[in-house]
Structure 1
Amino acid sequence: MEALTFPCSLFKTQKKMDDYDASDMRCGDLTETQLKREFQLVDVSTRVDPYTLTTLSPFSLPQSMFQGSHRPGQKIMPQACARILFAEFRHLAQAFALFGPYRRVIDEMITHMEGNSGFPFESVYLNCALKQHIVNDNDIENSTFLKIQDALSKHIDWENGCFPSELKYKLEESIQRGRLPKFDRLQDSFNGLGIAVHDTWATHITLTSLHIGEKSYRARVHYRVQDHFGLDCEDIQNILFSNFRLFRIWFVLQRYHRFGFKPFITNINADIEITGERNDNK
């Protein structure tokens, strides 16, 4: 009987890692006419008009009954306009990050986008959030953590002190029956994780080690998760997204050819320890 060797890949999503060709990774590819006609992005900001590059007053907003009765606002350069849009972006994001240790992550991510490097983003806070999400998920029907634990306990060859390689599919099936960790819970709408990550793009799960004793085992599992901090056309055409000014500003900053701020990949990693006893499966 051949024993499982490590590291052992247990799961990979169909969407690939480091996918810079994804639709939500495009930038600077849309004109003013497209933004207005195809996406109805006329009322973008309360502070500045990104198309005319003029500052706005409360009376100059499209929905104001006094619109048209004011003197034109101050003309500004595109760089100044972008700074104002990013400041409003940060301000609006605070409504989705009201409490908890992760509430400042979205501010860091907006600043990273404003830097316009396009480099991947990493945060110890997001790594911690992923780990806590995984180990605290007590839903036996969906938790990948609990399902891996159950599969290990049931299929370890205790007599030979190994996990048979021919039963690797049991571990793979256990994950496929679970639900991958995502930040789409109710609390994530207010703790900053929902706006910073929410859904995820790609996930890899790897069993990196397994130590088997006479009556217990200890395994380490690595979760590698990627998300894209960017919006595609379907996002902004979703009524839920388009109704929030935050997303309208985000989309214009990213996709309007005058700005073209680069989206980026968010890397999130967590190493999880899983332990169990020989009698766990009885």
Structure 2
Amino acid sequence: MSALQFPCKIFETQKKMDDKNAKDMKSGDLSEIELRAKFHLVDVSTRVDPYTMTKISPFSQPQSMFHGSRGEGEKLTRWECAEILFDELRHLSILFALHRPYNLLIDLMITHMQKGNGKQFSHQLLNSALKEHIVNDKTKNSTLRLLKDALDAEIDWENKSLSSNGKSELNKAILDGKLPKFDRYKDNFNGLGITVHDTWATHITIKSLYIDKERYHAKVHYEVQDHFGLDDDDISKVKFKYFRFLGIWFILQRYSLFAFKPFMTNMDATVDIYGGRNESKK
């Protein structure tokens, strides 16, 4: 049986990279009527009314004793209104991004949505977060741990190689685990839950495998892609629908008068696996 040649991709999700047809990659596809009736997005912002393009002041609130006084209903251009909504979005994001260093990401990504016109986004902080997650995952479902177990078992020590059959075993090991996602409790407050949370597509490649008499060293590359965008389900879930943050985001992305484009978020990390001849479970 032939030996594997490296680099060798050993895993990829069914969901594809660069999928522009994903449900959360839509923009500008909804009318005011749909947003109000289907998604119940009526009270969207505390600063502006995105439907009438007017500024909201304390005096324009019906319950105010000064209702009808100065500053009520100041008309805005579409882009002035969007600017205020983006500023409010940044302000509200603070609750989900309390801890450094990853709390810096949400501000960067909101600005990228505002000005990037759908261009893909990458940042070293995302790469660092991914690598930290992979390396520090000590659970039984850790893909890194399961890959090591599979390598321990499948390496042909006599020929100092990994057979082509070993590829399917490595793939199976990953399928038995949990791919790195930012859905841990701490991710609700460190900025990663709101910027990434789940992920869309993952590719895992063994870049190199060095085997000597008693030890091996594998370099494993994770390539992960997510979408910074909202689909219908995101805004319809009971746990999210009353978050003003998501309502504003949804309006900016999906309302036909704004239509700011969502974008793909790319991150990657290379990690090392070391093992020995006597570590095989077989």
Q: Same fold (TM over 0.5)?
A: yes
Residue 156 of structure 2 aligns to a residue whose secondary structure is coil
Cα deviation, 1:157-191, whole Å, max 9, x if unaligned, reads 11111111122211111000000000000010000
Distance 2:59 2:199 in 1: 40
Tell me the residue number matched to 1:83. 83
Distance 1:114 1:234 in 2: 22
After TM superposition, give the deviation of residue 196 of structure 1 in Å.
0.6
Tell me the residue number matched to 2:213. 214
Tell me the residue number matched to 1:49. 49
Tell me the residue number matched to 1:122. 122
Distance 1:218 1:117 in 2: 42
RMSD of aligned residue pairs (Cα, Å): 1.4
Tell me the residue number matched to 1:269. 268
Tell me the residue number matched to 1:229. 228
Distance 2:106 2:141 in 1: 27
CA contact (8 A) 1:46 1:58 kept: no
Aligned residues: 279
CA contact (8 A) 1:4 1:165 kept: yes
Confirm whether residue 199 of structure 1 aligns to residue 198 of structure 2. Answer: yes
Distance 2:196 2:141 in 1: 20
Distance 2:68 2:240 in 1: 30
After TM superposition, give the deviation of residue 9 of structure 1 in Å.
1.5
1:70 maps to amino acid: G
Shift of the 58–209 alpha-carbon distance from structure 1 to 2, 3 Å rule, reads same
2:98 maps to amino acid: L
Distance 2:100 2:11 in 1: 31
After TM superposition, give the deviation of residue 66 of structure 1 in Å.
4.1
Distance 2:5 2:108 in 1: 39
Residue 207 of structure 2 aligns to a residue whose secondary structure is strand
Residue 174 of structure 1 aligns to a residue whose secondary structure is helix
After TM superposition, give the deviation of residue 67 of structure 1 in Å.
9.4
Tell me the residue number matched to 2:39. 39
After TM superposition, give the deviation of residue 59 of structure 1 in Å.
5.3
Shift of the 31–116 alpha-carbon distance from structure 1 to 2, 3 Å rule, reads farther
Tell me the residue number matched to 2:25. 25
CA contact (8 A) 1:116 1:261 kept: no
Distance 2:234 2:28 in 1: 16
Residue 245 of structure 2 aligns to a residue whose secondary structure is helix
Distance 1:214 1:68 in 2: 84
Question: What is the TM-score normalised by the length of structure 2?
Answer: 0.96
Confirm whether residue 2 of structure 1 aligns to residue 30 of structure 2. Answer: no
Question: What is the TM-score normalised by the length of structure 1?
Answer: 0.96
Tell me the residue number matched to 1:251. 250
Structure 2, unaligned runs of 5 or more: none
Which stretch has the larger CA shift, 52-61 or 190-199? Answer: 52-61
Residue 132 of structure 1 aligns to a residue whose secondary structure is helix
Cα deviation, 1:18-59, whole Å, max 9, x if unaligned, reads 001111101011111110011000000000000011111245
Tell me the residue number matched to 2:13. 13
2:82 maps to amino acid: A
Distance 1:67 1:183 in 2: 46
Distance 1:242 1:219 in 2: 45
